[in-house]
Structure 1
Amino acid sequence: MKVFKFGGASVKDANGVKNMVSVLKTTGEKDLVVVVSAMGKMTNAFEAMVRDYFSDSKDYKASKSEIYQYHQTILKDLFPNESHPIFEKINALFADMGQFLEGNKSINHAFVYDQVVSYGELVSTTIVSTYLNEIGMDNTWLDVRTCIRTNDYYRDAKVDWQRTQARITETVQKKGITITQGFLGAEAENNFTTTLGREGSDYTAAIFAYCLNAESVTIWKDVPGVLNADPRYFNNTQLLKHISYREAIELAFYGASVIHPKTLQPLQRKEIPLFVKSFENPQNQGTCVGKGVTLDPMTSCFILKKNQVLISLSSLDFSFMMEDNFSDVFNLLHQYKMKVELIQNSAISFSVCVDNKYNNLEALLTKLREKFKVTCYYGVTLYTIRHSKPVEIKSLTEEKEVLLKQESAETVQVVVNE
C-alpha cells in the first residue's frame, strides 16, 4: 500500500479534480490511501468566516454563501445532472455547519475554528470520492476523525498514537482506494473535531503511512519537488533530487514550507520514503526524502519567514539573566501560545523571535513588562540558511538593518528589518 496526498492547489476547481484522476491513472497504483485537502484557498476562506463570526459581523453569512457558491461551481462542472445525489450531500454538510454556528455558545476561538474549518476537507473529499466513483474508479470515503485520535489542544492537536494505530488498523481497507481528509482528527473524550495545524495534511499522510507500514508517501504539489528556496522570494532556485531524513527534518523545523515539520519523524522511524512530485508533470523525478546522502545537489538552502516579532528582555534590577528568568519567560511563551523561531541569550539579555500565530502578543508583553525591560520589534523577517557561504549572507543582509544573528556549524539565522 502507498499513501498519496493532494493539496488544495491540486483540487482547486473541476479541472484540478480531473487532473487528479489523470495522476492516479498515470501512476497506476491500485492500493492507495489518498489524503485530500480543502479545495483551493478554502481553508483561508473558512478562517475568514470564523473571524467574521467572532467579530459579531453579519458578514459571516455572506462569507458562508461565497464558500457555498465556490463549491457549487465545481459541482456543476463535474456533475452536469443537478439532480445527482452529490448536491444533496454537500447541502447537508453546509446545513450541519450552519446549525453549529447558530447554536454555538462557546467563546473559545480555537474550538470553534476546528469545528468550522474542518468542513473544507469534508466537502472536498465528498466531491472527489463521488466523482471517482462516477467515472468508474471505485473507492471508499473515510471520515478521518474516526481514525486519528488526539488531545483537545484545538488548532494544533497532538496525536494519540496508540489509539490512532488501533483505529487505522481495524478500519482502513488494505486493498483498493480510500479517500480521506487531511488536517483533521477528533479528541477522544467528547469526539469533537480537532486540527493538526496548518499544512497538517502532509502529517496526516505520514500518520497513515506509519500505521499501515506503507511502501511510500507521495505529496503532489504545484512545484517540481523540494527546492532550495522559495521561488517567490529568491531567484535561481534549484531542485533538490534527494534529501536525507535528518536534513529534511532540519529544513522543516526551520520552516521550509514544502514539508510539514511533524511529517518526517514517523516516516524516518520506519524508513518510509517520502516523494514530493508535481501533479502537473507526474512522470518527472521530483524529490525523494529518505536514507542516503545529505543533499543532492549539495547547495545552500534558504528559508524566509516574514511578519515575525523580535522580543528583547533584560532585568529591571540590573541582575543577570539566569535560569529562573528563563523559566518565567518560557512559561509565559507557552501560556500565550507563541511559536518560538529563534532564541539568543547573554549575561544581561534574552532575545526571542516569535510567530504571533494566536494574536496573544500584547497580553504576553503586558506580563513580561511586570518583570523585565522589554524592547519589541514588529514585522521583522527571519532568514535561515543551511550550508551557507559567507558571500551569500553578505548579499542577503545588504542594505538591511540586522537586529540579531546566530551561527552554528551548518545553520545561520538572521533577523532583519527590511
Structure 2
Amino acid sequence: MRIFKFGGASVKDAAGVKNVFDVLQKVGYEEVLLVVSAMGKTTNALELVIKNYFDKSNELFESIQEVKKYHNEILLNLFDDENHEVYFDVKSHFADFEYFIRSNKSPNYNFVYDQIVSFGEIISTTILSHYMNYRNIPTQWIDVRNYIKTDNTYRDAEVNWEITQRNIGKIAKKKSLFITQGFVGSDENGFTTTLGREGSDYTAAIFAYCLNAESVTIWKDVPGVMNADPRYFENATLLNQISYREAIELAFYGASVIHPKTLQPLQKKEIPLFVKSFINPLLPGTSVSKGEDLDPKLPCFIVKKDQLLLSLSSIDFSFIMEENISEIFNLLHLHKLKVSLIQNSAISFSVCIEDKFGNFNELKKILSKKFKVSFNDNVSLYTIRHFDEKAAQMVERNKNVLLRQISRETMQIVTTSESN
C-alpha cells in the first residue's frame, strides 16, 4: 500500500479537490490510503471559533457561520445536484460540531480545542470522499479516531502504538482507496485528540509503519525539498535525495522539511518518503530515504527570523559553571523560550532564543537578579549545513554579524538587519 498525504493548500477550494482527482488519475489509486488535512485555512477559522467560545463573544455565531459558508461554497462548486448525500453528511457533521459547543461543560482549553478543531479534517475528508465516488473513483472513508489511539494529552497526544497497530492491521489486506483524516486520534474514552506539530504528516507515517507501506508521498505546491527557502535565497536548488539522518538534522535547525517524529517510524522500517508537487505530479520530487546524505551535495541554508540573542555574564566575574547553566535552562524551559544556539565562555553565556509566547521580559527580570543581562532583539539566525566559505560570505554580505559558530558540518551565524 502507498500512503498519500494532501495538506490544506491542496484542497483549499473546489479546484484543489478536482486537482486531487487528477493527481490520482495520473499516479494511480489502487491500494492507496489518503491522509487529508482541513481545507485551506479552516484550522485558523476554527481557532477563532474557540477563542470566541471562551471569550463568550457575541461573534461566536458569526464565526461558525463563516466556516459553514466556506465549505458550502466548495460543495456548490463540486456537486451539481443539491440533493446529493454529501450535503446531508456535511450538515450532520456541523450539527455534531454545534451540539458540542452548546453542551460542553469542560473548562479545559486543550480538550475543547481538540474536539472543535478536528471537525476541519472530518469535513474535508467527507467532501473529498464523496467527490471521488461522484467521479467514479470508489473510496472508503474511515474515521481515524477508530484507528489511532493515544493518551489524553490534548493538543500533543502520544500514540499508543500497540493498540494502534492492532486497529490499523484490520485494513491491511483490503484493496480499497481509503480516505482518512490527518492530525487526529482519540483517547481511551473516545474523546478526540490531536497529534501536535506537523500532525498530518505524522498520521501518514503511523499508517505507513503499521501497514508496512511501500512508500509515503507528501504532496505540496512546490517541486520538492529545496536547499534554501526561495523567499530569502536566490537560485534555490531542488534536492533529489536526503537521508533520514540529514532530514532530521535539517528539521532540528528549523528547516520546513519533515518533522523528526514523522521520520522516526519510517526510518525504523526503511520506508521511503517522497515530497512531490501536486501541480506537476509526474516529476520525481525529493526522496527522503536510506542512502546518500544529500544529492546534489551542496550547502543547505535555513533562516529563522525574529530571534533574540541573550547574553549573560556573572556580576562578580566568577565562572559560569554547570549549576548556573542548569538553572538558566530550567528558567528558559519554564518560560517556553525555544533555544536555537548556545555559546559560552568562562564568565559569559549566550543563547539565541525564540520568544513565541512573549515571556522574555518576565524572564529578564528574574535573570537580572543574578547576572548582567544584555540582548539584541529582531536578530536573524542563519544555519548552513555542509557550509563552505562562499556560502558564509553570501549570508554575511551587508549584515552586522553578532555571533558565528562552526562545527564539523554546520555553521550558524546571528545577524542584525541589512545595513543601509
1:102, CA displacement in angstroms?
4.0
Mapping of residues 404-415 of structure 1, within 5 Å = 404-415=403-414
Mapping of residues 49-60 of structure 1, within 5 Å = 49-60=49-60
CA contact 2:248–2:259 (8 Å) conserved in 1: no
Structure 1 pair 351–171 and aligned structure 2 pair: CA distance change class (3 A): farther
Residues 275-330 of structure 1, C-alpha deviations (whole Å, 9 max, x = no match): 11111111111111112222111111111222333333344554432222232233
Structure 1 pair 62–166 and aligned structure 2 pair: CA distance change class (3 A): same
Q: In structure 2, what residue type is equivalent to 1:28?
A: G
**SS where residue 299 of structure 1 aligns?**
coil
Alignment partners' CA distance in 1, 2:86 and 2:293: 47
> Which residue in the other structure is 1:35 paired with?
35
Do residues 239 (structure 1) and 226 (structure 2) align?
Answer: no
Alignment partners' CA distance in 2, 1:187 and 1:339: 29
> Which residue in the other structure is 2:156 paired with?
156
Alignment partners' CA distance in 1, 2:119 and 2:136: 26
> Which residue in the other structure is 1:143 paired with?
143
> Which residue in the other structure is 1:313 paired with?
312
**SS where residue 185 of structure 1 aligns?**
strand
Mapping of residues 234-273 of structure 1, within 5 Å = 234-273=233-272
**SS where residue 309 of structure 2 aligns?**
strand
> Which residue in the other structure is 1:8 paired with?
8
Alignment partners' CA distance in 2, 1:367 and 1:193: 39
Alignment partners' CA distance in 2, 1:148 and 1:364: 39
Mapping of residues 166-315 of structure 1, within 5 Å = 166-170=166-170, 174-188=174-188, 190-315=189-314
1:333, CA displacement in angstroms?
3.3
**SS where residue 405 of structure 1 aligns?**
strand
Larger CA Rg, structure 1 vs 2: 2
> Which residue in the other structure is 1:392 paired with?
391
Deviates more, 1:83-92 or 1:264-273: 83-92
Alignment partners' CA distance in 2, 1:105 and 1:404: 51
Q: In structure 2, what residue type is equivalent to 1:309?
A: L
CA contact 1:303–1:384 (8 Å) conserved in 2: yes
Q: In structure 2, what residue type is equivalent to 1:6?
A: F
Q: In structure 2, what residue type is equivalent to 1:385?
A: I
**SS where residue 262 of structure 1 aligns?**
helix
Q: In structure 2, what residue type is equivalent to 1:168?
A: I
Alignment partners' CA distance in 1, 2:152 and 2:363: 23
Q: Percent identity?
A: 59
**SS where residue 231 of structure 1 aligns?**
coil
Q: Which runs of 5 or more structure 2 residues have no equivalent in the other structure?
A: none
Q: In structure 2, what residue type is equivalent to 1:63?
A: S
> Which residue in the other structure is 2:80 paired with?
80
Q: In structure 2, what residue type is equivalent to 1:176?
A: S
Deviates more, 1:164-173 or 1:379-388: 164-173
1:214, CA displacement in angstroms?
0.5
CA contact 1:147–1:171 (8 Å) conserved in 2: no
Runs of 4+ in structure 1 displaced over 6 angstroms?
none
Deviates more, 1:227-236 or 1:335-344: 335-344
1:65, CA displacement in angstroms?
1.9
CA contact 2:320–2:348 (8 Å) conserved in 1: yes
Q: How many corresponding residue pairs? A: 417
CA contact 1:255–1:261 (8 Å) conserved in 2: no
Q: In structure 2, what residue type is equivalent to 1:19?
A: N
**SS where residue 75 of structure 1 aligns?**
helix
1:378, CA displacement in angstroms?
3.5
Relative to the length of structure 1, the TM-score reads: 0.91
1:56, CA displacement in angstroms?
4.7
Structure 1 pair 52–385 and aligned structure 2 pair: CA distance change class (3 A): farther
> Which residue in the other structure is 2:321 paired with?
322
Alignment partners' CA distance in 2, 1:249 and 1:316: 39
CA contact 1:30–1:177 (8 Å) conserved in 2: yes
Alignment partners' CA distance in 2, 1:68 and 1:41: 13
Q: Which runs of 5 or more structure 1 residues have no equivalent in the other structure?
A: none
Alignment partners' CA distance in 1, 2:115 and 2:401: 42
Q: In structure 2, what residue type is equivalent to 1:40?
A: G
Structure 1 pair 46–26 and aligned structure 2 pair: CA distance change class (3 A): same
Q: In structure 2, what residue type is equivalent to 1:244?
A: S
CA contact 2:52–2:60 (8 Å) conserved in 1: yes
> Which residue in the other structure is 2:21 paired with?
21
